[in-house]
Structure 1
Amino acid sequence: MESRSMPVPDVDDGPDFSKLESTIVTSNIELRPISRDGQHIQRHADAADTVVNELDYDYEIDPDTYPLSTIHSVQDLFSCVQYHEHVCREQNFDVKTRLECLSVDCSGAKWMQLDEGSLKDLLDNAASRCIDMPPISTRPMSQSTTTRKALMFLIPLTPASKITTSYGNTLPMTRTSITKLFSSLQVNPAFIQNLLGRPDYWAPQGRWDEEDGQFLCCDFWCQHPRWNLQVQGAPLSVYSKYDAQKDLTVYLVSHKPNDTVINSLRKQLDSLVQHPAQYHISDVLLESPYDLHVMISNLNMEGSKWHVERFRRFQWKAVNDVDDHLAGKGQHDRKKLASLLKTLQIVSQNSDSHLANAQNFLFTARAILDSATKLDVSRKRRIRQRTLDMLRHLIESMEKQHMWFLNYKSRKESVMNLVFHFGQQTDNLNNIELSADMKRDSTSMNAIAGLTMIFLPGTFTASVLSSGIFKSEAGARGFQVTGLWWLWLVITLPITLITVLSWWFYRKRKEKTMQPVQLWFKNDEPDQSVTDTARKASVVHTFKGYMGKRRKTGTRKSNYSAI
């Protein structure tokens, strides 16, 4: 007889599997309904969420207009788009220009009241300013300060409709004046949002321009925290730029009306403007370009102390009220306990807000310190050193205040947990008393049920016998059944049947309403054929990788292959 040898499987044709592995590969694993529902990509989406355009801007910008006409990096492209978006909204601007500007030069400092015409003349003069000096390095300078100039614009924001404006504020300037201000001074277009009163506290931002190792200019802008939690308004936004080619320092300060920091800053600057030694005052104001940043930060921290002290008194009053309540000095009722919890919740919210303000202050102050340390263009080292020392003092002071806020928050949490556990203990005692009352009521009900079982058969029998269905005459030993028995059955049986059926339908309806609610996309079943094919391919791919590892490690190959 001719012998037949078993065919040798082709290794190159695909991986080899054992018989058990082959059966696993060809088996379909059905997904549970909850798994299919959980993989639906729109299981939490509303109809409006599918058509949201988060970057809905007008990207068609004239390349001959600022800031696209002077762009130096692709990182500024989106800033140009945002600038164009906000500047094109007419409701963000007023019909005329009214500004205050502090001008400082070698002759001294003075306040200027600007309208559209005088602002244009001032900006034209600043734009054409050139002191014929090459780009300077960031090393200390030895020249005098006779050529340096500084301009600080105070821009109060007027509250307006949040629907028609970008951020609910209107600038006291025309659209033409804003365009002239940004283009003449080459203001970073990304600052337009902070200038309009953007409420979000984003990180401080700066830009540093150098060419062939030579410093050209730098700018920096930030937002300072609002410590008054009861009255908000537009945040205090500050932009600064130092242009080495023009030896010009520019400040743009956007603030809400009657901002306490700006009012204090203006009064301090008034005293300098009225100082008799104007040449000395010009050196004080011009030597360190970041001095005004530090002054505003210092005033912001000093203003925070009043609100921090107010918060501290409010918190300790709440803690003392809790102590008095637990000591039995007040009424132990749930209304008082709810009032204490509400007060502690307000303390918690205020504590979180002040912690966020402290962190925002630290972010801003550290960014100012980094920029001020990097920009070293002062001729008099003493003035610059005092600027840096004040910044370090502000940072360390706010870090300590931040530490105290964390301590206040931990104390508040301890007191709140104490009140919460006290309320739980009160509820537990009430539950124990309620359980005892229910037990007593249950005992009484059992006694009533026992008496009912004793007297109910006799009561039922007496009722039937006295209904006239059975009739017995005096002296007779038997009784007769009258014609009323069928009437009793006709009335009693339907009423009993209706009562039982009504109870049964009520139970069924209640069970249906208590069933779990199905997901709205339960009928959106995926294509089963596609799902099975993909699942099978995934399992095959997994076993291919597994068998590949076996071949690499020298494991014996199987004589079975997957089909």
Structure 2
Amino acid sequence: MKLSPQFLGYLFGEPDYWAPGDYAEYNADGVLSRIESFSQQPRWHIHTKDMPFSTYMAFEPKTDSTTYIVVGDSDHLGMREMKRRLLDNLRSTEYQDPFMFHAMIVHETFLDAKTVITPVRHQLYDQLDRVDNYSKKSAHERGKGDLEELTIGLHVVSQEIDSMTAGTDMTSMIVRRLIKGHTRYRESLGSVALVNSSTKTADALDYLAESVDAQRRWLESYKARKDIAMNLVSANFVLEKISH
């Protein structure tokens, strides 16, 4: 089996922070002969030791064959869901596009981000409420270590948001590379019977790209609110120093 050497490290399940791969080969007549696409999904649960999902896809138009290699924790709920989706795809004639399963993997792993982003959002709101309550207190009502606790809490939230933003940026990069590879595939289509399935995949990838961008905008808004709260805490710290 022909396999891109850049994917070999992914087979061992180690976290990798390189860019996703997207390669194409053309024959002497300028006809597409092979497409390769591979990526490693970001780990949203950074405080666990879960094996990251890595996906390799190769498509050869001449034989109309698609090869997939998926590396990940076999006990992970996402892996079981992907296996079920793959079986459904094999039974359906609507999903003849070689990129569809890769798009589904990105979609499923991106959905996993909700389980960590939602708690971080709640944690941020809790910290904002604490800062607001602190600002309303008189000088004699404020505890000696309140500002330190608020600062630590906001720093923890900031680190979590930075991690989520990095994961979102990586997902965006993966989707952009998939769109690039899929565009090559669509340009090489020689059968009108494949137009429907390729259009469905193109629409799915576009929707996924826009969803990832939307998630990043929300994370940017969380970061901005955190920064405002941190500035308020810093201002209170300076005022307390002056008053003493």
Give the TM-score normalised by the residue count of structure 1: 0.40
Instruction: List per-residue Cα deviations over 1:34-90 (Å, max 9, x = no partner).
Output: xxxxxxxxxxxxxxxxxxxxxxxxxxxxxxxxxxxxxxxxxxxxxxxxxxxxxxxxx
Match of 1:314 among 97, 118, 123: 123
1:246 correspondence with 2:55:
no
Q: Distance in 1 between matches of 2:43 and 2:58?
A: 24
Gaps of 5+ in 2: none
Partner residue, 1:342: 152
Q: Which secondary structure does the structure 1 equivalent of 2:235 belong to?
A: helix
Residue 206 of structure 1: CA displacement?
2.0
- Deviating more after overlay: 328-337 vs 189-198: 328-337
Contact 1:238 1:252 in 2 (8 A): yes
Could you say which structure has the greater relative contact order, defined with CA pairs below 8 angstroms and 6 or more residues apart?
Answer: 2
Residue 195 of structure 1: CA displacement?
1.6
Distance 1:257 1:231, change over 3 A: farther
Q: Distance in 1 between matches of 2:141 and 2:54?
A: 49
Instruction: List per-residue Cα deviations over 1:162-216 (Å, max 9, x = no partner).
Output: xxxxxxxxxxxxxxxxxxxxxxx21112211112123132111122111121221
Partner residue, 1:364: 174
Residue 369 of structure 1: CA displacement?
0.8
Contact 1:288 1:387 in 2 (8 A): yes
Residue 354 of structure 1: CA displacement?
0.8
Distance 1:215 1:259, change over 3 A: same
Distance 1:234 1:365, change over 3 A: same
Q: Which has the higher helix share?
A: 2
Instruction: List per-residue Cα deviations over 1:134-173 (Å, max 9, x = no partner).
Output: xxxxxxxxxxxxxxxxxxxxxxxxxxxxxxxxxxxxxxxx
Question: Aligned AA for 2:237?
Answer: G
Q: Distance in 1 between matches of 2:100 and 2:86?
A: 12
Q: Distance in 1 between matches of 2:2 and 2:85?
A: 29
Contact 1:298 1:394 in 2 (8 A): yes
Q: Distance in 2 between matches of 1:383 and 1:197?
A: 31
Q: Distance in 2 between matches of 1:425 and 1:416?
A: 14
Question: Aligned AA for 2:137?
Answer: G
Matches within 5 A, 1:466-481: none
Partner residue, 2:79: 262
Partner residue, 2:143: 333
Q: Which secondary structure does the structure 2 equivalent of 1:220 belong to?
A: strand
Question: Aligned AA for 1:402?
Answer: R
Residue 393 of structure 1: CA displacement?
0.5
Q: Distance in 1 between matches of 2:120 and 2:80?
A: 24
- Provide the aligned C-alpha RMSD in A: 2.0
Q: Which runs of 4+ in 1 moved over 4 A?
A: none
Matches within 5 A, 1:219-234: 219-234=36-51
Distance 1:343 1:257, change over 3 A: farther
Q: Distance in 2 between matches of 1:192 and 1:205?
A: 12
Matches within 5 A, 1:531-546: none
Partner residue, 2:219: 405
Distance 1:331 1:265, change over 3 A: farther
Residue 282 of structure 1: CA displacement?
4.8
Partner residue, 2:98: 289
Distance 1:229 1:334, change over 3 A: farther
Q: Distance in 1 between matches of 2:153 and 2:112?
A: 25
Residue 373 of structure 1: CA displacement?
1.3
Q: Which secondary structure does the structure 1 equivalent of 2:59 belong to?
A: strand
Partner residue, 1:421: 235
Contact 1:219 1:240 in 2 (8 A): yes
Residue 375 of structure 1: CA displacement?
0.6
Q: Distance in 1 between matches of 2:61 and 2:86?
A: 24
Partner residue, 1:519: none
Instruction: List per-residue Cα deviations over 1:15-44 (Å, max 9, x = no partner).
Output: xxxxxxxxxxxxxxxxxxxxxxxxxxxxxx
Partner residue, 1:206: 22
Contact 2:22 2:178 in 1 (8 A): no
